[in-house]
Amino acid sequence: MNNKKENPFRKSTRLKEYDYSNGGYYFITICVNNFKIVFGDVKNVKLNLNIYGREIEKILLSLQERYKSVEIDYYVIMPNHIHFIFILDNNSDEKRSVSNIIGAFKSLTTISLHKLGLIDFKWQRSFYDRIIRDEKELYYIRQYIDQNPLRWEIEKNNPDNLEL
């Protein structure tokens, strides 16, 4: 018997006909399981990362060294989630998909945080992604990322607001 609490009404945000190994800009949101505050805090609209938040940042930025096809464009690490934009350029011999990269990130961060003593750390099962289609959308998503700490006090208890 499956003991996982699955939401039967949860819909995939993935486009069924889209190849997620296509090059382009992708906006990603990943939440900590149960929205547990783990990575630091926001005081006076200033984000203060703790040791776990700094570790998440280090691993996120290391993705572009690990994978030639990935460039981190913009990001913010919030107390219980992360937003970032990455550029996928699969013109090299290394062809990766969005799911492959996010899976690696989640695995690397979970292992690392467990080693740092946060043994009960877990990400939520999936992640939110959006294919960024043009410069205007890229601009607005970067602005959303920049303003995330400003909205923390208002939105921290409303997980529906974590998606753009």
Mean pLDDT within 15-43: 88
Answer whether residue 97 is part of any domain: yes
- Quick one: pLDDT at residue 94? 74
Query: Does residue 16 lie in a domain region?
Result: no
Average pLDDT in the 130-138 region? 95
Is residue 17 in a domain?
A: no
Task: Output the pLDDT for position 153.
Answer: 76
Residue 159 covered by a domain:
no
* 89 is a domain residue: yes
Q: What is the pLDDT of residue 143?
A: 96
Strands 81-88 and 70-77 come out as antiparallel
The answer to whether residue 6 sits within a structural domain is no
Q: Give the Cα separation of 77 and 81 in Å (integer).
A: 6
Number of domains in the chain: 1
For residue 29, what are the domain limits? 24-153
Residue 61 belongs to domain with CATH number: 3.30.70.1290
The verdict on residue 162 lying in a domain is no
pLDDT tier at 1 (50, 70, 90 boundaries)? very low
Please tell me the least confidently modeled range out of 41-45, 76-80, 111-115.
41-45
Domain for residue 163, yes or no? no
